[in-house]
Amino acid sequence: MASSCGRKDPRVPVIASLVPFLLLLIVSCSASAKKDGGGGGKGARAQVLFRAGDELAAYRRIASRMARMEKDSNKTIQAIFLVTCPLCLGAISLWRRRLPGSPDGDIIHCVPSHRQPAFDHPKLRGQKPEDEPVVRPVPKGGAAAEEEAAALFPQAWSDGGERCPEGTVPIRRTTAQDVLRADSARRFGMKPRASNARRDSTSSGHEHAVGYVTGDQFYGAKASLNVWSAKVASAAEFSLSQIWVISGSFGNDLNTIEAGWQVSPELYGDSNPRFFTYWTTDAYQETGCYNLHCSGFVQTNNRIAIGAAISPTSVYNGRQFDISLLIWKDPHRGNWWLQLGSGPLVGYWPSFLFTHLGGHANMVQFGGEVVNSRPSGSHTPTQMGSGHFPREGFNRAAYFRNVQVVDGDNSLVPAAALRLVADHPGCYDIRGGYNRAWGNYFYYGGPGRNVHCP
């Protein structure tokens, strides 16, 4: 991995030996681009794709933010090869196995924490991140917090021990290709307007298998969920597993805070499962975004990159790898914090972002969601979770375990009366239970299109 710290790179002889190879790749890719009618440049392509004034203005705002992140960065961690030419991919994959670097091709900028996108917000401009709360949720009765081995889960970009310096936060670079894959520059980094939280009814094009609790005042939620490389059939679809903290009606005033893992080729340009966050205050209409794509979530952690790939992942009939997430409301300052299990904090959503969640949540939801675009008129084969039904159980199906909520005393308690529901059980199903080791748990997911899901 290369950085801008000024140290002599011990790989220079290796890189020098690759110069002829790189030149050949560049020539090949240039020829390929010309053959395909390219050559206008990213800016020209944006001009063509985003003709409307507001779309082009949005693209330019994103480009300006990308340039500022790079300028503000005091360290950059990146892969050696960032070529996307189809003719070059095979050769690049061979060289990547021989060289260090981020295997997912991400570029991570280490940006001073007060220069991250959140501080573009008028209410945060000129400020710095708040101090981390001293008091955090603990199990009811004051028992010691559960130890999670994967509290600080590894990511591909930091496999070699890389981290950002103190006082900075790692921000995954947004590329022009990321924006150009989106249908709209103005809504880049946002979910579709259709409601993606479930309330006993199927959202248009979105299918769920979830457990949820409702009818009380909730101040957070916690669970451990295993991570899979779910297969997504097309760039128009995604597969995710997450925690939702919800308040308001299911009309245009819906407030949600969300975190988990997601496979989204359109958003990230690949099929790696990635750690993500989301928020909205108007049912995904005009507010909120994924990760750090807008002024909202304030990151405080210098070792976790939101939007970066999670590695390793679970293996069918093999080792299971899960992450533990806790979302909770600080009773003193009112901000909603994201924590890795019983370990470090990632950052917070400022309370002023929300209307209903300015007080408390009235629903908490756990589980999986996919987008079903019905290619060729039939159900998508996009997988949820592991792509296997919950009846296959441990080592094969995706799961949530130790499903808990935070009560008004800032205590973690089991998610009592957890209801389980699947929109289309023949496509994606859910089954739950309870035991002393896992507390409240459930298995969920499925393959999508099959003989029972035409």
Which among 87, 107, 100 has a CA at the least distance from the CA of 33? Answer: 87
Tokens of 352: 């002023």
Active site residue 258: yes
- Tens digit of each residue's pLDDT (9 = 90 or more) over 291-345: 999 999 999 999 999 999 998 999 999 999 999 999 999 999 999 999 998 899 9
Q: CA 209 to CA 430: how far, in whole Å?
A: 6
Higher-scoring residue by pLDDT: 448, 97: 448
Residue 435 pLDDT exceeds 80: yes
- pLDDT for 392: 98
SS3 68: helix
**Span 146-156, mean pLDDT?**
62
**Span 86-108, mean pLDDT?**
49
Q: CA 444 to CA 225: how far, in whole Å?
A: 11
User: Are residues 185 and 62 in contact, defined by beta-carbon separation less than 8 angstroms?
Assistant: yes
Q: What does pTM read for this prediction?
A: 0.83
Instruction: Report the percent of the chain where pLDDT is more than 90.
Output: 61
Q: CA 190 to CA 293: how far, in whole Å?
A: 8
- pLDDT for 40: 46
- pLDDT for 175: 87
Q: CA 273 to CA 154: how far, in whole Å?
A: 12
Lowest-pLDDT range, 73-82, 118-127, 281-290, 444-453? 73-82
Q: Where are the domains of the chain?
A: 53-85+100-141+149-446
Residue 212 pLDDT exceeds 90: yes
Q: Which of 166, 207, 258, 286 is catalytic?
A: 258
Higher-scoring residue by pLDDT: 46, 24: 46
- pLDDT for 308: 94
Active site residue 266: no
27: confidence class by pLDDT, cuts 50, 70, 90:
very low
- pLDDT for 79: 42
Lowest-pLDDT range, 28-37, 218-227, 309-318, 322-331? 28-37
The DSSP code sequence of 24-64 is: HHHHHHHHHHHHTT--SHHHHHHHHH--SHHHHHHHHHHHH
Q: Sort strands 138-139 and 411-414 into parallel, antiparallel or unpaired.
A: parallel
Average pLDDT over the chain reads 83
Q: Match 């280490």 to its residue by tokens.
A: 110
**Span 182-195, mean pLDDT?**
81
Residue 122 pLDDT exceeds 80: yes
- pLDDT for 199: 52
Residue 53 pLDDT exceeds 90: no
Cα–Cα distances (Å) from 233 to 58, 212, 262, 347, in that order, read 29, 27, 14, 32
195: confidence class by pLDDT, cuts 50, 70, 90:
low
**Span 410-419, mean pLDDT?**
95
User: Are residues 220 and 328 in contact, defined by beta-carbon separation less than 8 angstroms?
Assistant: yes
Q: Sort strands 289-290 and 298-299 into parallel, antiparallel or unpaired.
A: unpaired
- pLDDT for 375: 86
- pLDDT for 266: 94
- pLDDT for 183: 82
Residue 115 pLDDT exceeds 60: yes
Lowest-pLDDT range, 62-76, 139-153, 285-299, 330-344? 139-153
